[in-house]
Amino acid sequence: MHAGLQQALLRAWTGRGALAWALRPVAFVYSSLVWLRRFAYRQHWLTSQRLPVPVVVVGNVLAGGAGKTPTVIGVVAHLQAQGWKVGIVSRGFGRRSDAVQAVHTDALPAEVGDEPLLLQRKTGVPVYVGRERAAAARALLDAHPQTQIIVCDDGMQHYALYRDVEICVFDSRGIGNGWLLPAGPLREHWPRRALHAAGQSGEQLLVLNTGPNTVPGFTAIRQLADHTVDASGHMQPLAALNAPGAKPLCAVAGIAQPEAFFAMLRAQGIVPTRTMALTDHYDFDSWSRNNHGHYSLICTEKDATKLWQHVPEARAVPLVQTAPADFYAALDRCLQPHRPAPLSS
C-alpha cells in the first residue's frame, strides 16, 4: 500500500468522517464474507487442525501492527523461564513463497519475512513459516520433537489452526471508530463472539494493550532501549547519536505507524534532522546509499533486517516492551491444564 494512502486510512479510522462513511458499503461486503467464513467453521464445513502440543496465538483484530512481535518475544522468554520448550510459527508476510520452511539466523528477509527473521534472532528458538500455520507447526515438531508448545505470530483469524490460548494485542488506537475494514481498522467485530470450533473462548483470551489502556485488559510498558546496534552487533549508547560533530541523523521506519517510532526517539532526547515514513514491511531494495550518505541512519529492528543488506552501518534501536507480572500469571493459569507431566527420576 502506498504510504500516503496508508496514512489517509489510518486518519480516517480514528473517526466516522466522509471517507469512512464512503467505505461503509465495502465494509458491509467484507463483514458478510467474515460471517460466512466463521459460519463454515461453526458448521464444520471447514475444520481447524489441532496439534499434539498447546498453541498460543498472539494476534490482533486491528489492521496494521499493534505490537505483536515484541509481545511474542516477551511471551517466549516467559515460557522458557517456566521450563517450556518453545517453537514459533508465522505466515511470514511479504516473503516470496508460501511454502513451509525453517527460519535461520542468516536467512534473507525476502525468503522468510522480516518479522520471523527478527523473532529467530531475538529468541533463538525454532521458527518456521508457511501460509498454512498448521503445516508449518507440524514441520517444526517433526524437526524439533522436544518442542512442548507453539507460539503463533499473528493468526487470530486463521481458524485453520486450533488454538488453546489467545493473546489479542491493541495499541493506542483501541478499536478506532469501531467499524470493520475498510471503513474502520477492525478485521472482526469487537467485542467478538468466540468461535469455539477453532478453540476460541472468553476464558482463554488475554488482552494486552501496548499503548494507553483503551480496551479492558493488561497494559505493557514500551520504550526504546538506551543503546543502538549495527549489522556487526556493535553496540553504542543511544546518546552517542547526539555527540558533538556527529553526522545529521535520518530516522527511517517501514512499520505500520512510523510516527510512533519517531515520537519514541524524541522522548529519549534524539531529534532526527530528517524522518522518512515508509510503508509497512518496506523492502529497501530500491534504497540508494548515495541519496543518504551524509546522514547517519537509524531504524527499528524490523527494518534493520532488510536495511543492513544495503547499509550495514545503519543503527537499529531495540524496542523494550515489559508486560505486567499479572499478565504472565494469567497466561500461566490458562496453560496449567496443558503443562507436560514432569519426567520421573
pLDDT in tens, the chain (345 residues): 566 677 788 889 999 999 999 999 999 999 999 999 999 999 999 999 999 999 999 999 999 778 999 999 999 999 999 999 999 999 998 888 889 999 999 999 999 999 999 999 999 999 999 999 999 999 999 999 999 999 999 999 999 999 999 999 999 999 999 999 999 999 999 999 999 999 999 999 999 999 886 799 999 999 999 999 999 999 999 999 998 988 999 999 998 889 999 999 999 999 999 999 998 888 888 776 656 778 999 999 999 999 999 899 999 999 999 999 999 999 999 999 998 765 443
Q: Are residues 230 and 164 in the same domain?
A: no
Beta-carbon neighbour count of residue 269 at 10 Å? Answer: 10
The reply to whether 5 falls in a domain is no
Closest-CA residue to 241 (of 275, 265, 270, 268)? 270
Q: Are residues 149 and 75 in the same domain?
A: yes
Q: Are residues 215 and 253 in the same domain?
A: no
Contacts of 31 (CB under 8 A, 6+ apart): 180, 189
The reply to whether 3 falls in a domain is no
Q: Are residues 187 and 297 in the same domain?
A: no
H/E stretch holding 227 reads strand 227-229
Q: Are residues 275 and 313 in the same domain?
A: yes
**CA 94, CA 180: separation in Å to the nearest integer?**
23
What pLDDT is attached to residue 1?
57
What pLDDT is attached to residue 19?
94
The reply to whether 344 falls in a domain is no
For every residue of 229-297, DSSP letters joined together read E-TT--EEEGGGGGSTTPPPEEEEE-SS-HHHHHHHHHHTT---SEEEE--TT---TT--GGGGTTSEE
What pLDDT is attached to residue 238?
95
Q: Are residues 234 and 272 in the same domain?
A: yes
The reply to whether 190 falls in a domain is yes
Closest-CA residue to 7 (of 324, 277, 318)? 277
What pLDDT is attached to residue 291?
64
The reply to whether 162 falls in a domain is yes
The reply to whether 345 falls in a domain is no
CATH number at residue 87: 3.40.50
What pLDDT is attached to residue 2?
62
Q: Are residues 45 and 136 in the same domain?
A: yes
What pLDDT is attached to residue 160?
97
The reply to whether 62 falls in a domain is yes
**CA 235, CA 105: separation in Å to the nearest integer?**
19
Q: Are residues 134 and 235 in the same domain?
A: no
Q: Are residues 185 and 244 in the same domain?
A: no
The reply to whether 1 falls in a domain is no
Report how many domains make up the chain. Answer: 2
Q: Do residues 116 and 129 make contact, with C-beta atoms less than 8 angstroms apart? A: yes
Q: Are residues 200 and 69 in the same domain?
A: yes
Q: Are residues 24 and 100 in the same domain?
A: yes
Sheet holding 249-253, edge to edge: 235-237, 227-229, 315-317, 296-300, 249-253, 274-277
Q: Are residues 192 and 300 in the same domain?
A: no
What pLDDT is attached to residue 113?
94
Range of the domain at 240: 224-321
